[in-house]
Structure 1
Amino acid sequence: MRRCLQWLGGGSAQAAGIQVGGMSGCLCRSAAAARSKVASLRKRAKVNGGRLEFIPPQIPTRVEEPPEDEGWVHEVNLDGYRTQIIIDKGGVRLYSNNGRDWTTKYWPIALAAELPCRAAIIDGEVIVPGEQGDPDCPALEAAIWNEPSRLVFVAFDILHLDGRNLASLPLLQRKQALWQLVGHDLGKIQYSEHFESSALAIFRAIEKVGLESIISKRVDSRYRSGPSNTWLRAKYFEEADF
């Protein structure tokens, strides 16, 4: 069953919440056959030219309180595993935040990455949706090893698309390109919505489902690997302290 978290507050015009959950039709294949296909894609990628390379992720700086002035948008931190999807002529590969190839561990997501593009580098998080649609953080590690069919990739940035480097574009332009690529999908690869409403309103909403932090991003920020002061991470704070 497909579920989504409905958040309070404003956001971009495309959607009102971050979509989580859902099942992909590719999961009707046996796990053994699926892993065999993923392994085949990886072997082919090693011999074909024109491969895209892993880009070290941009890391938000921890702050006590999120920015409330203009020029920032906010995204819910789902507390999943930071993951990068690379699609090119060699196939589909998924990497951990330190560049390790986790394609076989995330094989249901790899098989679902049949996106309308020739090449892409997508940044996001792998999560496990809980019964109410909110991320089930304690279940994530077990699902990777025992129930990978529960894994979902939530995309929040795109760095490359069909031969074009998007990392130098402002954040909102990258988000628009990402939405056009994956925004309508409610399956294994989903879009992470951003919000322009106050950080306090977002905290009130996410606190109800057990989440506690948001990532604030400058709307004009470029993607830069490593620690960043244009991406800020803040945990839930009381209204009295606001």
Structure 2
Amino acid sequence: MRFIPCQLASPAGVLPVGDDWIFEPKFDGYRCQLVVWDGKLRLFTRNGLDWTERLGRSLPESVCETLDCAVDGEICALDKDGRPDFGLLCKALSDKNMPLAYFAFDLLACSGERITSLPLHARKKQLAEVIPSLGIESVKLVAHTSDGNALAKILLSKRWEGVMAKERNSPYEPGARSPAWRKLKFTRRQEFIVAAWRADKKTGALKSIMVATMDNGALTLRGSVGTGFSVRQRRELADFFSEHSPLGAPSTQLPVKGDIRFLPPTLIAEVEFLEFSSSGRVRGASFIGLREDKAAEDVQHETFFSDTTEKIAQPLAA
């Protein structure tokens, strides 16, 4: 069984309402596809990379040979409160003793046959039968609800990343960013392209990074990030960036000044920030970690949830 390209969600500022939608938590981890074929388990990133060796530590090498399936979900590292934490997941990439959990929210193939054309509610019904039959403690079935407003308020109180809204009768659209799936983020946090970096003149360690998004095929500068790095990260990232820094500036000129070392637009950073300025720059930005599961063309300016919880759910415009 081959990897099936992942369906992607469209950013949203409010949750849709109505009987056509179901809602589930948005997880703070790496999107992964769990494929079982001939009793063997493999984990693929959203770009189709086989990361079984890197992230499959909590999975058995084999399961029931009669159960061939492809499951869509997210692999996470959990904090002491059982909440997914992307920062911990970044640490887990280099610490194989850290346990991981896989949260399954969709079923793409069952008994060796694709079921992506089935409506979401039918796929989830089969998923609820498949996950228990796998018998893997670290693989969890993601629950869903028809009350998005109530779920959002619960997740807000527990400081989760956000909530997902999905059309219950929609098919799975491999490789598409579909309006049938909508992601609403509570915290102002998103991925940015690392466009350039500055080194400390005295130590040579990383001082800050310049981040950007890809809008209409061109890089748009979104500001500077100088906090959130540990002393070790500043040293290691400076070495890493030095290996990737080209001699000249990128073909798309960015409005930056000073001792800047440009990078090819391939490195992705997760950044938390207070707000966007009127000119579209991040304020109060803090580095969370580098992402290896996303491509630069997927990094766009995102919409975030209003701080007013009473405005979580609104009807869709006609």
Interval containing the TM-score (normalised by the shorter chain): 0.7 to 0.9
Instruction: Pick one of 130, 137, 148 that aligns with 1:181.
Output: 130
Instruction: Report the TM-score, using the length of structure 2 for normalisation.
Output: 0.56
Distance 1:177 1:95 in 2: 21
Distance 1:213 1:115 in 2: 34
Aligned to 1:145, the other structure's residue is in SS state: coil
Q: Work out whether 1:163 is the aligned partner of 2:112.
A: yes
State the Cα deviation string for residues 89-133 of structure 1 (Å, max 9, x = none): 272211111011101012324416625743110100000121111
Distance 1:172 1:194 in 2: 10
Instruction: Report the TM-score, using the length of structure 1 for normalisation.
Output: 0.72
**Which residue of 2 is the match for residue 194 of structure 1?**
144
**Which residue of 1 is the match for residue 37 of structure 2?**
88
2:43–2:50 CA contact under 8 A, matched in 1: yes
**Which residue of 1 is the match for residue 83 of structure 2?**
134
State the Cα deviation string for residues 126-181 of structure 1 (Å, max 9, x = none): 00121111112210111122035411110000111112221111111111111111
Task: Report the more deviating stretch, 110-119 or 206-215.
Answer: 110-119
1:56-95 → structure 2 map (5 Å cutoff) = 56-89=5-38, 91-95=40-44
Distance 2:99 2:131 in 1: 19
Identity %: 26
Write the letter of the residue equivalent to 1:98: N
Distance 2:62 2:158 in 1: 28
Write the letter of the residue equivalent to 1:146: D
Aligned to 1:175, the other structure's residue is in SS state: helix
Distance 1:122 1:107 in 2: 14
**Structure 2: gaps spanning 5 or more residues:** 187-305, 313-318
Runs of 4+ in 1 over 4 A off after TM superposition: 183-186
Write the letter of the residue equivalent to 1:135: P
**Which residue of 1 is the match for residue 152 of structure 2?**
203
Write the letter of the residue equivalent to 1:241: K
Distance 1:159 1:122 in 2: 6
Task: Report the more deviating stretch, 204-213 or 181-190.
Answer: 181-190
Q: Which has the larger radius of gyration?
A: 2
Distance 1:190 1:117 in 2: 20
Q: Which has the higher contact order (CA 8 A, sep 6+)?
A: 1
Write the letter of the residue equivalent to 1:164: E
Write the letter of the residue equivalent to 2:311: D
**Structure 1: gaps spanning 5 or more residues:** 1-51
* Larger helix fraction of residues: 1
1:123–1:155 CA contact under 8 A, matched in 2: yes
User: RMSD in angstroms over aligned alpha carbons?
Assistant: 2.0
Q: Work out whether 1:233 is the aligned partner of 2:183.
A: yes
Distance 1:71 1:92 in 2: 34
Q: How many residues align?
A: 190
Write the letter of the residue equivalent to 2:139: I
